[in-house]
A and B are shown apart, each in its own frame.
Chain A
Amino acid sequence: MFPDNLTFSIAGWVNEGVDALVSNYGDVFRHISDSLLWAIVNLENLLRLTPWWLMLAIVGVIAWHATRKVVSTLLIVGLLFLVGAVGLWDKLMQTLALMMVATVISVLLGIPLGILAARSNRLRSVLMPLLDIMQTMPSFVYLIPVLMLFGLGKVPAIFATVIYAVPPLIRLTDLGLRQVDREVMEAINAFGATPMQQLFGVQLPLAMPSIMAGVNQTTMMALSMVVIASMIGARGLGEDVLVGIQTLNVGKGLEAGLAIVILAVVIDRITQAYGRPRHREQK
């Protein structure tokens, strides 16, 4: 047994802190939440109002632009058509909207943080343990307080998704920049490139495959949070998975689960294709 006089608990202190935060500053947080919500709702409505055939055509064009392969493009469009065919189109669009907003926020946060971490060893040594916490802390631990501050539904779902999905992007951006050849850097230094020129002209382009792998990982992890998001009232495919589990309707759960997989595969193939060095010269 661990001696009693050496034990202590931070539980009471944390509970009081959260209570005070909600009672005193809850309304401020709700205002922030409402503006973010406005963006999500509009994007969602746009996606849901787009006719399904137009949506498939747009995805087809993007897929063709990314992969330049007829078979892959047809496969991607065909898989999405299948999701619509089992009656999950509307939920697919809701999930897609949620995921796109989460990914955009992750990219806006992750790439600059990754660049800073690559430049400063001190920042990196602080950031890395933080990223470990973000990736391993069970999400319900911070979900409930976030939910009390930002309200039920899409906004806390996005927060949770960003917290979980941004670490790989930061890590891979940092890694990609650090792996740029030292001799290349010496050479451009010798040519008198400014720090900005170094970064945007040389480092970022060379690190691009690694960064795109990070973006890819971020979208994948964002998708894996879909079910957790539905546990705090966000609509979409996760909701169907949850109902499937809770009512022992295995078939329904599997349908929605497969739809999530399809969405993941589609996004994965497209982002990976963009991450690969271009073959434009091959004519």
Chain B
Amino acid sequence: MVNLKKWLGGPLLAYALVTQSVMADQKAPVHFADLTWESGSLITEVLRLITEKGYDVPTDTLPGSTVSLEAALAKNDIQVIGEEWAGRSPVWIKAEAEGKVQGLGDIVKNASEGWWVPEYVIKGDPEKGIKALAPDLKSVNDLARYKDVFRDQEDPSRGRFLNSPTGWTSETVNSQKLKAYGLDKDFVNFRTGSGAALDAEVSSSIKRGKPVLFYYWSPTPLIGRYKLIRLEEPAFDAEAWKTLTDVNNPNPKGTRSLPAKLAVGVSAPFSKQYPQLVEFYQKVDFPIDLLNTTLAQMSETRTEPRKAAQAFLREQPQIWHAWVTPEAAAKVDAALKAN
């Protein structure tokens, strides 16, 4: 027995010592939330690449659902959420009020949600032989006239409005909007069941050149990939917005949706430890049109987010150079060339 202990103990101890000293040499990596939607994954990879190469801070990602990631951020289990729709979820609002998390910057200005139709529905597309079926469709108030264009096969006397899946906050808002705009009799409030189903139906309709009316949001690949037109809605009004978010309000008033504020979410210990990164994240600003087209390319060519992020950094230096210190910019450029 004693012999066995000697035999095993020596190498094991040596192994433990070696690994420990190696671990001590490295800084603990910063954990990013592994966001699964397209814009989230691209923004996360862009931030990670600059953080790693420009500021020499190692990074890693952890997967999870939005709510559990927000809860993890509040406990500092992860340190950064690349794209946080700040102020929308109760978990986030509570953690922010307690000073555990912070939303940095306004990273995508004019991020929005609304009701969209493909451009060819209004203008037609002579190249594909598509006639303009709803030439005067501009705002949600015109929809009642065009209910036949968006006919619902399951209920042919009415039009079909593709709402977001049940359970999303936006589903309530859209259902209330249908009432507010007086469209609930003429249109079927079609809840799509899942985000994937909504995407599939919209892209299938567009590929076949058929009219489709749907709820969507930006920044997304879909908005960048196809020519879409957002229907006009009344200007934003905070009081009316309250009636739209309340499921039980019988007389909702119409307004466009609350403008979204996208931020980089960081935990409190992180902002103490890395002031230079906080400064960088505060300056992050993706122009929305460029982001949409980049996302469209990424989804069309089915590129990995990390590769798409490298390409973005290589092709659009004028955008991200403004976010970082000149030294960091130079380091990232050098790293990109080396690849």
Contact B208 A232 (CB under 8 A): no
A23 touches B208 (CB 8 A): yes
Query: Does A77 sit within 8 A of B, measured CB to CB?
Result: no
> What separation, in Å, do the CA atoms of A222 and B168 have in the docked complex?
27
Whether A234 sits at the interface, judged by CB under 8 Å, is yes
* Shortest Cβ gap from B195 to chain A (Å): 10
* Residues in chain B near residue A34, CB distance under 8 A: 153
Chain B residues within an 8 Å CB radius of A152 = 162, 190, 192, 197, 200-201
Pick from A26, A154, A230, A245: contact of B204, CB below 8 A. Answer: A26
| A92 at the B interface (CB under 8 A) | no
Interface residues of B in 147-167 (CB under 8 A from A): 153-155, 162, 165-167
Q: How far is the CA of A232 from the CA of B204 in the complex (A)?
A: 14
A37 contacts B154, C-beta separation under 8 Å: yes
Q: Report how far A232 CA is from B199 CA in the complex, Å.
A: 11
By a CB distance below 8 angstroms, the chain B residues around A245 are 167
Chain B hits for A232, CB < 8 A: 192-194, 197
The reply to whether the CB of B207 lies closer than 8 angstroms to some CB of chain A is: yes
By the criterion CB–CB under 8 Å, are A243 and B204 in contact?
no
Which B residues between 203 and 223 are near A, CB-CB below 8 angstroms?
A: 203-204, 207-208
B100 vs chain A, min Cβ distance (A) = 22
Interface flag for B191 (CB, 8 Å): yes
State whether B165 touches A246 (Cβ < 8 A). yes
Question: Does A257 lie at the interface of the complex (its beta carbon under 8 Å from any beta carbon of B)?
Answer: no
Name the A residues within 8 Å of B302 (CB-CB).
Answer: 11-12, 15
Q: Is A239 an interface residue (CB 8 A)?
A: yes
Q: Are B207 and A23 within 8 A (Cβ)? A: yes
Given the complex of chains A and B, what is the CA–CA distance between A23 and B155 in angstroms? Answer: 25
CA distance A162 to B166 in the complex (A): 25
A231 contacts B204, C-beta separation under 8 Å: no
List residues of A (221-268) whose CB comes within 8 Å of B's CBs. Answer: 230-234, 239, 242-243, 245-247
Chain B residues in 8 Å Cβ range of A242: 165-167, 193
The CB with the most chain B CB atoms within 10 A, among A26, A148, A234, is that of A148
Does B16 have its Cβ within 8 Å of any Cβ on chain A?
no
Indicate whether B196 reaches chain A with its CB closer than 8 angstroms. Answer: yes
Given A152-B190, A231-B193, A147 and B204 touching (CB < 8 A)?
yes
List the B residue with the shortest CB-CB distance to A34: B153
Q: How far is the CA of A245 from the CA of B204 in the complex (A)?
A: 28
Q: Count of A residues near B, CB < 8 Å?
A: 33
Bound CA–CA A31/B189 (angstroms): 23
Query: Which residue of chain B is the closest to A233 with respect to CB atoms?
Result: B193
SS class of chain A's interface: helix, strand, loop or mixed? helix
Among A37, A149, A234, which residue has its beta carbon within 8 angstroms of that of B193?
A234
Inter-chain contact A27/B191, CB cutoff 8 Å? no
A16-28 toward B: CB 8 Å interface, digit per residue (1/0)?
A: 0001001100110
Q: What CA separation (Å) do A34 and B165 show in the bound complex?
A: 23
Query: Beta-carbon contacts of B169-204 to A below 8 Å, as 1s and 0s?
Result: 000000000000000000000111110110011011
Taken together as a complex, chains A and B put the C-alpha atoms of A144 and B197 apart, in Å, by 7
A15 CB contacts on chain B under 8 angstroms:
302
- Choose from B162, B166, B196, B200 the contact partner of A239 (Cβ within 8 Å): B166
Please determine whether A27 and B196 come into contact, CB atoms closer than 8 angstroms. Answer: no
Residues of A within 8 A of B167 (CB): 242-243, 245-247
Provide the bound-state CA to CA distance between A147 and B197, in Å: 7
Contacts of A234 in B (CB 8 A): 193
Q: How far is the CA of A234 from the CA of B194 in the complex (A)?
A: 11
* Complex-state Cα separation, A154 to B192, whole angstroms: 11
What is the bound-complex CA distance between A245 and B192, given in angstroms? Answer: 16
Residues in B with CB closer than 8 Å to A41 are 154-155
| Chain A residues positioned under 8 Å from B165 (CB to CB) | 231, 242, 246
Q: A154-B154, A239-B166 are in contact. Are A26 and B207 (CB under 8 A)?
A: yes
Taking a contact as CB atoms under 8 Å apart, the answer to whether A231 and B190 are in contact is: no
A81 located at the interface, meaning its Cβ lies under 8 Å from any Cβ of chain B in the complex: no
B201: which of A37, A147, A239 is its contact (CB, 8 Å)? A147
Contact of A148 among B154, B155, B203 (CB under 8 A): B203
Contacts of A148 in B (CB 8 A): 200-201, 203-204
Q: B201: which A residues are within 8 A, CB to CB?
A: 147-148, 151-152, 233
- Within 7-54 of A, Cβ neighbours of B (below 8 Å) are at 11-12, 15, 19, 22-23, 26-27, 30, 33-34, 37, 41
Not counting A231-B194, A232-B197, a sample of 16 additional A-B residue pairs whose C-beta atoms are within 8 angstroms of each other reads A22-B204, A22-B207, A26-B207, A26-B208, A41-B155, A148-B201, A151-B153, A152-B190, A152-B197, A154-B154, A230-B193, A232-B192, A232-B194, A243-B166, A246-B167, A246-B168
Question: Can you sample 13 A-B contacts with CB below 8 Å?
Answer: A12-B302, A23-B207, A26-B204, A27-B208, A41-B155, A147-B197, A148-B200, A149-B204, A152-B200, A230-B193, A239-B191, A246-B165, A246-B167
Which 5 pairs across A and B sit closest by C-beta, in order of nearness? A246-B167, A148-B204, A26-B208, A152-B201, A231-B193
Residue ranges of A at the interface with B (Cβ–Cβ < 8 Å): 11-12, 15, 19, 22-23, 26-27, 30, 33-34, 37, 41, 140, 144, 147-149, 151-154, 230-234, 239, 242-243, 245-247
* Contact surface of B with A, Cβ cutoff 8 Å: 153-155, 162, 165-168, 190-194, 196-197, 200-201, 203-204, 207-208, 302
